[in-house]
Amino acid sequence: MTAVLDRAPAPALPRLRRDRRRWAWGLAALVAVGWSLAGAVDGDVLNPAGAAQVGRFAAAALSPALDGAFLGVLATAALVTVAYAVLGAALAVLLGALGAVFVARTTWGRRRLGWAAARGVLAVPRGLHEAVWGLLLVNVLGLDPWVGVLAIGLPYGAVTAKVFADLLDEVPRGPYAALLAAGAGRAAAALYGLLPQAAGGLLSYAFYRLECAVRSAVVLGLIGAGGLGYELALSFTSLRWPQVWSAVYALALLCLAADVAGRAVRRRVAAPRRRAGVLSRDRLLTAAVLGTVAAVAWSWWYLALAPASLVSGRTREQVGYVLGAAWPPATDGDLLAEVGRQAVVTVQVSVLAIAVATVGTVLVAGVAARPPGRVGPLRRATGVLVRVALLLLRAVPPPVWALVLLFVLLPGVLPGALALGVYTLGVLGRLAAEAVEEADPRPRAALTALGARPTSGWLYGVAPAAAGPVLAVALYRWEVAVRDTLLVGLLGAGGLGALLASRLAAFDWPAVATVLVATVVLTLAVDLVSERARRALR
C-alpha cells in the first residue's frame, strides 16, 4: 500500500489564470488616458510669461496676512461657511433617510421596475454639481440664504439616499419580515425593522457628509454665496497673495476639524465600547449627536432662514417662469452638435484628472499612511508633511487651482484637468492612506520577520491588499470628477460647464435644459461604466 501511495501522482495545484476582464479594463483605461491626453495637448499649452506670478503666489505661502482686521473678516466668513455646511448636511441626511426607505431594494421586493424608476429619480439631483444647483436656485430665490443650503442638501440628499438604501439592503431582514407578517406596510416595516439595525453605518456616513459639505460650502462661496470661498475669490481677483494663503489656511483648519471629528465618530461606530461584554452608552457619540443638533439650531438662527421665502409669491412666479421657459428643451442641430463636442471635452478632463490623482496617490499613499508600531522621527515627520500637503490640496477648491495654473498654462482642457487632478489627489490620497492603514498587517510583519526591508515589506505585504480598494475608490472618484468638471468648466476650462455658463448668461433656458439633460445622461453613463469596472476588480 505504501508503494502504491509513493507512486501516486501528487494532487495538481490549481493553475492561476489571468482575469481577462481586468486586462481588458486596464487596456481600456490606458487608451482613454492616451486619447484624453492627445486632446489636451493639441497645440501650444504653456504660457511662460506667468511663471513670475506663480512664484509670487508660492512665496506668499510663508507670509500669510495676519492683521487683525482681515483675520476678523475670515472668522466671520468661517462662521457663514460652517452654517451652510451644517444645514446642508442636515438636510441631506434628512432627505437621505426618507428617500432610502423608498429606493431600497428590500422595500420594493420583486418589483424591479418600480425600484429602477425610484433609483432613476435620484439620478437627476445627483447628476448635477452643487455649484450648478446654486446657479439655478439664484435665478429662483435670488440672494437668499436658502440657495446655499438647498444647493448642498438636494444633490447630497440624493447621494445619501442611495448610500443609505445600500446599507439598509445589507442588514438582516428578520425584523422587517416579522413586521410584514404582522400586517405593516413595506415603508413602515423598513422604517422600524431596517433603520435601527443600520443606525451605526448611517451615523458614520452622515458625519462623512458633513466633511464633504464644508468643502461644498466653500465652492458655493466662489459663486457669491458668501463665506470663506467668497473671501478667497475676492483676494485672488485682486492678486493679494498673502490674503489668499490666509484664507487657504483657514479652509484647511475647517477641513481638518471636520476630518478629525468625522474620523473619531466613525471609529467609535466601527468599534463600539463595551463594559463586561455589554454595549454601553458612548459619551463621545452622544456628545456628537447633541452637538450636531445644537449646531443646526445655531446655523438656522445665524443665517436667519425664513421658510416663508420658499413658498412666497415671487418664488412661485420665478419657478413657473423658469420651468415654462425651459420646456421643451432646445433640439436644434447646432446646439446638439456643440453639446456632443463639449461632452467629449468633459470626459477627457475627468479621465486626465483621475489619472493624475491615481498616479499621485500611488506615490504618496505609503508615506501618508500612519505606520504600525514605532518608527523613526524622520519617517514620522515625512508622513505628517505629506498628510498636511494632501489636506491643503483638498482644502483649496478646484477653480482656485485652475486660476493658478492659468498663469503658466493657456486656457483649455489641460489646466482644468490638472486643477481637478490636484484637488482629487488630496481626497484620494487621504482615502488611500486609510486603506493602507486598515490593510491586514500580518503579511508585512511576516516579511519583516524574514529580514525584508521596510520598502519591500510595503510593496509585497501591503500594496497588493490595498490596490483593489484604492482602484475602486479611484473609479468612484471618477464619477465625482465628472460632476466637478462642470465646476472648472464654469470658469472657462471648457466642457459642458463652459457651455452651461454661456447659456445661463444669455438666459437661454431651453438650451440650459438641454445641457442639464446631457449632463445627467453623461453622469449616468459614467456611473454605469465605473460600476462595471469596479465589479471586474472584485
**What is the C-alpha separation between 483 and 486, in angstroms, rounded?**
6
Ranges 161-175, 228-242, 420-434: which has the least confidence: 161-175
Residue 292 sits in the same domain as residue 371: no
Q: What is the mean pLDDT of residues 423-430?
A: 88
For residue 18, pLDDT beyond 80: no
> 211 and 166 share a domain?
yes
Q: At what angle do helices 112-126 and 68-103 cross, to 10 degrees?
A: 170
The average pLDDT across 73-99 equals: 89
Q: Decide which of 289 and 337 is more confident.
A: 337
Task: Report how far residue 235's alpha carbon sits from residue 251's, in angstroms, rounded to the nearest whole number.
Answer: 14
Domain boundary residue, one of 322, 349, 380:
322
Question: Which three three-digit cell numbers place residue 456?
Answer: 519591500
pLDDT score at 319: 85
Q: DSSP characters for 99-116?
A: HHHHH-HHHHTT-HHHHH
pLDDT at 294: 92
End-to-end CA distance of the chain: 45
Specify whether the CB–CB gap between 118 and 190 falls below 8 A. Answer: no
Flag whether 17 is in a domain: no
Taking only the tens place, the pLDDT of each residue in 58-67 is 888 889 998 8
State how many domains the chain has: 2
Same domain, 313 and 442: no
Q: In sequence order, what DSSP letters do the residues of 263-330 get, joined into one string?
A: HHHHHHHHS--EETTEE---HHHHHHHHHHHHHHHHHHHHHT--GGGGSSHHHHHHHHHHHHHH-SPP
410 and 505 together in one domain: yes
Residue 189 domain flag: yes
* Residue 53 belongs to some domain of the structure: no
For residue 242, name the pLDDT band (cuts at 50, 70, 90). very high
What mean pLDDT comes out for the span 185-213? 72
Q: Which of 322, 352, 387 is the last residue of a domain?
A: 322
What are the contacts of 270-278 at 24+ separation with CB within 8 A? 270/200, 270/204, 272/200
- Look at residue 204 and tell me if it is in a domain: yes
Q: Which of 292, 322, 352 is the last residue of a domain?
A: 322
Q: Is a pLDDT exceeding 70 seen at residue 5?
A: no
pLDDT band at 200 (very low <50, low <70, confident <90, very high): low
Question: What's the pLDDT at 2?
Answer: 42
pLDDT, tens digit, 9 for 90 and up, residues 253-283: 888 888 787 777 767 766 666 554 545 566 7
pLDDT of 84 reads 92
338/315 same-domain check: no
User: In angstroms, rounded to a whole number, what is the distance separating the alpha carbons of residues 106 and 132?
Assistant: 33
Q: Residue 301: pLDDT band by 50, 70, 90 thresholds? A: very high
SS3 of 42, please?
Answer: coil
Average pLDDT, the chain: 80
Percent of the chain exceeding pLDDT 90 equals 10
Is there a contact between 487 and 129 (Cβ–Cβ < 8 Å)? yes
Residue 19 lies in a domain: no
Q: How confident is the model at residue 299 (pLDDT cuts 50, 70, 90)?
A: very high
**Does residue 139 sit in the same domain as residue 176?**
yes
Is 187's pLDDT higher than 60?
yes
CATH code at position 247: 1.10.3720.10
Examine residue 502 and state whether it is found in any structural domain, yes or no: yes
Do residues 226 and 209 both lie within one domain?
Answer: yes
Same domain for 255 and 345: no
Bridge partners for 361 per DSSP: none
Domain match, 95 and 242 both: yes
Residue with cell 421586493: 109
Considering the domain architecture, whether residues 331 and 304 belong to the same structural domain is answered as no
pLDDT-derived band at 14, boundaries 50, 70, 90: very low
SS3 content of the chain, % helix, strand, coil (to 5): 80, 0, 20
Residue 123 burial by CB count (10 A; 0-12/13-18/19+): exposed, middle or buried?
A: middle
What average pLDDT does this structure show over 330-353? 89
Tell me, yes or no, whether 47 lies in a domain.
no
Cell reading at 299: 446655523
- Residue 10 resides in a domain: no
pLDDT tens digits, 125-143:
888 888 888 888 888 888 8
505 pLDDT exceeds 70? yes
Q: Which domain holds residue 380?
A: 327-537
Q: What are phi and psi of 275, to 5 degrees?
A: -130, 120
Same domain, 305 and 420: no
Position 223 pLDDT exceeds 80:
no
Minimum mean pLDDT range among 216-220, 223-227, 394-398: 223-227
Look-up of cell digits 443665517: 303
Task: Give the pLDDT band (50/70/90) at residue 492.
Answer: low
For residues 314 and 383, membership in a common domain is answered with: no
